[in-house]
Amino acid sequence: MADSLTLSITLLGAGQEVGRSCCVLQYRGKTIVCDVGVHPAYSGIASLPFIDELDWSTVDAILITHFHDDHTAALAYVAEKTNFRDGKGKVYMTHSTKALYKLMMQDFVRMSSSSSDALFSPLDMTMCHSSIVPVSVHQLISPCPGVSFTPYNAGHVLGACMFLINIAGLHILYTGDYSREEDRHLVKAELPPIRPDVLIVESTFGVQSHESRGARELRFTNLVHAIIHRGGHVLLPTLALGRAQELLLILDEYWEKHPDLDNVPIYYASGLARKSMAVYQTYIHTMNSHIRSRFANKDNPFVFKHISNLPQSRGCEKKIAEGPPCVVLASPGFMQAGTSRELFELWAPDSRNGLIITGFSIEGTLSRDIINEPDDFMSLKGHTIQRKISVDYIPFSAHVDFTQNCEFIEQVKAQHVVLVHGEQTAVGRLRAALSSRYKDRDEDVEIHMPRNCETLQLSFRAERVAKAIGTLADKISQSNDAISGLLVSNDYSYTLLDPRDLRDHTGLSSCTIRQKQKIVLHVGWELVHWHLEGMFGSVEDFIDPAGMPTMRVMGVLDVKHTQEHELTLEWGASDGNDAIADSTLALITWIDASSASSGLSTTDSRTKPLPYACGHHPHCDNDSDVSHIQAIAMFLEAHFDDVELHMPEEIEDTRVRCESSTSSALLVRLDDAIAEIDLLTLAVNSSNAVFKQRVTTILDMAVSTVTSLAKSCCSCGT
C-alpha cells in the first residue's frame, strides 16, 4: 500500500545566505527544527531567524549541530521568549557541544549586556542550558513517537555533528557545517550508513576549491614569518573556538622548529578560549588518532609551549600594538567589534603589519569588506582610517569546498538535495554545477535552493510494509503465499505476528469479547434457516449444551432459538464477525417484516406441493414445499406492491378479474392490476395482458432461482 506524503522544508535563516541557520522540517504532523543561530552582520532582533513564521509550541525537537553563534545563539531566545515551552519539544546536542555552548553564550551575553537590544538575559541562558539534553555520536534517540535521529561526526569543530533524522520512515540527513578533511585534531565528517531520501547540505564555498592542506599550511607559516621579519605585527582574526585551536597547533609546531622565533610572542586574545581548554582536554577521546596517541604518551597537545594568553589589563591592546613584532589570534573572527577590531584599527596605518583572514567571511562584516583591500575604512568611533596593512586570505575554514561537497553528495545518493548556508551567487553556481553533473550521468536527482521563509514541498510515495516476526517468520514463505496474523502498528512501522507471540514481542495480550443480540421473531425457524442458507451457503445445525436449537453461520455466528418468538445471536467481536452479525440481523429483521413471510409461515396442510418438489428425500416434505412457496412469494414481493396467498374458497370471494381456480394461488397486485398464480400449475391469469406477461417473466426467474437452491440441499438431485 502506498500513500502520497509531503515533506515541508522551511528555512527561517541560512536560505541563500550565511548566518542564522534555522531549518524547519514538517512531515506527517511532526515538526523538527535544526539549528537556531543569529546573523553576525546584524544585532538584536534583526539578527534572529524569522521565528514569527513558526508556532514553536508545535516543535517536537530542536537539534543543534555545533556551538558557533550562527547555529546556536538564538536558542535561548526561542526557548525562553517564545511559546516553545508550551509544547513538549526538547533541545538536543552532543555532550561537548553543550559544554562549549555554555561558554559561548556567557561570552555572548557579556558582549551584549550593555546593549539596549540584548536578546536575552543571563538567567534566560542558564534556564535554556539546563534543559538541553546531551547525546552521544551514533546514539539513536527517539524524542517522540514516529521520530528518531542519530548524530554522526561532522568534523568542522569539536562536538560538531550531522543528524540523520527518521520521521515516520522518511530519512533526512542535515549536515550543518561539515568538513571532509581530517585536520590536526579533528576527525573528518562521516558518511552515514543509510541512504537518506533528502540531503540538506551546506553550500558555503559554492564552486570554490581549496589548495591542498599542506600547501595552505606552508603558505600560511611563510607569510607569518615574512611579516615578522619585516618588523610587523600579525593579526589573525578568528572565532574564539574552532579554527583558533587548529591555528594554535600549527603555530606552536612551527615555532618549535624555528628557534629564531623564540623571542617573538604568540598571543591568544580570548578569555573564552582560555576557559575552553579544559573542555578540549576533557573530550580528547572524540578527536583524531594523532591527538589521542599524543595524549596517551602524556603529551597534552593543548598545553602550548610558545603561546600565551593576552593580558586582560586596561590598555593592553595599545601596549602590544606599539611593542615589538608579535602574532595575535583575536576574536571575533568577523572584526565587527572586540579585540580583533581594536587591534586592526591600531595596526591598519602601518604597512609593516599584516592581516591574514583564515576563515570564511560573511557578507556585511568588516572582514568581508577588507578582503577587497580598500584604501580606507570607517572606525567604530566614526572617523576614517587609512589602510596600509597588508591583507591576505588563506582559508583554513573547516567547511567543505566544491570538490569535497560534490563527492559527499554523490556518495550519499539522496533523491533530493537541498542547498543551504551559502550566499545566493555561490549557491546558484553550485546548483548549476551539480545539475550538470547529474544530467551528464542521466541520474534523476533534484537540486533545490530555497530562500528564507519559502516552503519547499517534496512529495514521496510511502510504501507500507509489514514484517512477519516470531512464529510466522519461522516458515519461509513463497511468492503470493497468504499469511494470517495480527497486524501491529508502532511509530509508523508494521509487524505481522501470531496471536500467541503477542505478549513476547509487544508486551500486549489478546482477549475475546462475546457479543449477544436478542430479537423478537414472528416467523418459523425453518424459514429463517432457509434464508440463512440462501445468503451464506451451508449452515451448521446442532443443539447447544443448554439444549437450544442452534444454527452456526460462517463458522462464527450462532443463531439460537432461545424462546418462542425469540432468537439470540452470539458471536466473538471482530470487524469481520461484526459484519456477519449485522448482515444476519438485517436479514432476519427483513424476514419478520415481510408480509409474504408472515402469511406463508402459518400455511396449513391445504397447501399443495409444488410440481418441482422431489418427494423422495426424507427432508423434501411439505415443510420444504412451504419454504419453496415462501421463497417464490418473497421474490415476487420484491418486484410488486402486494403478494398474498389464498385458498380456493378465499379466491372465490375476491375481486379477481380472472377465471376462478380450485387450487391454492398467489395473488399479485401492482397499482390497479391483479394477477393470479396457480401454485399447482404455476399458470398466470390476469385481465391485463401486459401485467400478465411481466408477472410470468418474474415468476420464471423466481422458480429458476428457488429450484437451484432446492437442488443444492437435496442429495437426490431430482
Picking from 348, 372, 393, the residue at the C-terminal end of a domain is 393
Give the CA angle between residues 522, 527, 528 to the nearest 5°. 80
Instruction: State whether residue 415 is helix, strand or coil.
Output: coil
Do 221 and 158 form a contact (C-beta atoms < 8 A)?
no
- The answer to whether position 518 is within a domain reads yes
Considering the domain architecture, whether residues 19 and 127 belong to the same structural domain is answered as yes
Q: Cell numbers for 140, please give them.
A: 539513536
Contacts of 500 (CB under 8 A, 6+ apart): 471
Report strand pairing: 455-463 vs 514-520: unpaired
pLDDT of residue 613: 35
Considering the domain architecture, whether residues 496 and 553 belong to the same structural domain is answered as no
- Provide the CA 613 distance to its chain's centre, in angstroms: 67
Considering the domain architecture, whether residues 270 and 324 belong to the same structural domain is answered as yes
Contacts of 557 (CB under 8 A, 6+ apart): 569, 570, 571, 577, 580, 581, 584
Considering the domain architecture, whether residues 431 and 370 belong to the same structural domain is answered as no
Torsion-angle region of 183 (φ positive above 0: left; ψ -120 to 50: alpha; else: beta): beta
Instruction: State whether residue 172 is helix, strand or coil.
Output: strand
Give the whole-angstrom CA distance, residue 593 versus residue 626: 18
Considering the domain architecture, whether residues 499 and 525 belong to the same structural domain is answered as no
- The answer to whether position 558 is within a domain reads yes
- Please identify which of the residues 306, 399, 421, 646 carries the catalytic annotation: 399
Report strand pairing: 354-357 vs 665-670: unpaired
Interhelix angle 424-440/402-412, nearest 10 degrees: 50
Picking from 417, 437, 456, the residue at the C-terminal end of a domain is 456
Q: Cell numbers for 183, please give them.
A: 585536520
Do 192 and 164 form a contact (C-beta atoms < 8 A)?
yes
- The answer to whether position 153 is within a domain reads yes
Picking from 593, 616, 651, the residue at the C-terminal end of a domain is 593
Give the whole-angstrom CA distance, residue 585 versus residue 592: 11
- Provide the CA 710 distance to its chain's centre, in angstroms: 59
- The answer to whether position 710 is within a domain reads no
Considering the domain architecture, whether residues 81 and 140 belong to the same structural domain is answered as yes
Considering the domain architecture, whether residues 201 and 60 belong to the same structural domain is answered as yes
Considering the domain architecture, whether residues 446 and 492 belong to the same structural domain is answered as no
Radius of gyration in angstroms for the set of CA atoms belonging to the chain, rounded to a whole number: 43
- Provide the CA 264 distance to its chain's centre, in angstroms: 56
The count of other CB atoms within 10 Å of the CB of residue 226 is 13
Considering the domain architecture, whether residues 383 and 502 belong to the same structural domain is answered as no
pLDDT of residue 270: 72
Say which amino acid occupies 320. I
Q: Cell numbers for 42, please give them.
A: 546584524
Give the whole-angstrom CA distance, residue 198 versus residue 387: 47
- The answer to whether position 252 is within a domain reads yes
Catalytic residue status for 399: yes
Give the whole-angstrom CA distance, residue 323 versus residue 341: 18
Do 467 and 204 form a contact (C-beta atoms < 8 A)?
no
Q: Which CATH number covers residue 146?
A: 3.60.15.10
Do 160 and 176 form a contact (C-beta atoms < 8 A)?
yes
Considering the domain architecture, whether residues 386 and 253 belong to the same structural domain is answered as yes
Q: Cell numbers for 326, please give them.
A: 608579535
CA distances for 561 relative to 308, 542, 553, 567, angstroms: 100, 11, 14, 5
Q: Which CATH number covers residue 246?
A: 3.40.50.10890
* Largest Cα span, the chain: 139
Report strand pairing: 234-237 vs 327-330: parallel
Do 176 and 23 form a contact (C-beta atoms < 8 A)?
no
Among positive and negative, which fits the CA dihedral 104, 153, 492, 458? positive
Considering the domain architecture, whether residues 77 and 187 belong to the same structural domain is answered as yes
Which of 644, 553, 634, 629 minimizes the C-alpha distance to 592?
634
Peptide bond into 499 cis (omega under 30): no
Do 152 and 117 form a contact (C-beta atoms < 8 A)?
no
Domain count, the chain: 5
Q: What is the mean pLDDT of each run of 10 residues along the chain (718 residues)?
A: 76 96 96 96 92 97 96 96 95 96 88 75 93 96 95 94 95 96 89 95 93 89 95 88 81 92 88 77 86 82 82 70 88 83 92 90 85 89 92 87 95 96 95 91 89 95 77 79 82 80 79 89 83 84 91 93 90 88 87 59 38 36 59 77 68 44 73 84 87 86 69 46
The count of other CB atoms within 10 Å of the CB of residue 564 is 6
3-state secondary structure string, 312-333?
Answer: CCCCHHHHHHCCCCCEEEECCC
Q: Cell numbers for 674, please give them.
A: 391483479
Give the CA angle between residues 424, 426, 431 to the nearest 5°. 90
pLDDT of residue 605: 32
Q: What is the DSSP string of 145-166?
A: TTEEEEEEE--SSTT-EEEEEE
Among positive and negative, which fits the CA dihedral 584, 589, 591, 594? negative
CA distances for 75 relative to 125, 164, 165, 322, angstroms: 9, 21, 20, 40
Which of 661, 656, 610 minimizes the C-alpha distance to 631?
610
- The answer to whether position 108 is within a domain reads yes
Q: Cell numbers for 177, please give them.
A: 557545517
- The answer to whether position 615 is within a domain reads no
Residue 493 belongs to domain spanning: 466-506
Give the whole-angstrom CA distance, residue 254 versus residue 257: 5
Which residue shows C-alpha cell 410440481? 611
The count of other CB atoms within 10 Å of the CB of residue 579 is 11
Give the whole-angstrom CA distance, residue 356 versus residue 224: 9
Q: Which CATH number covers residue 555?
A: 3.30.310
- The answer to whether position 613 is within a domain reads no
CA distances for 685 relative to 641, 645, 650, 697, 701, angstroms: 17, 15, 16, 13, 17
Considering the domain architecture, whether residues 278 and 355 belong to the same structural domain is answered as yes
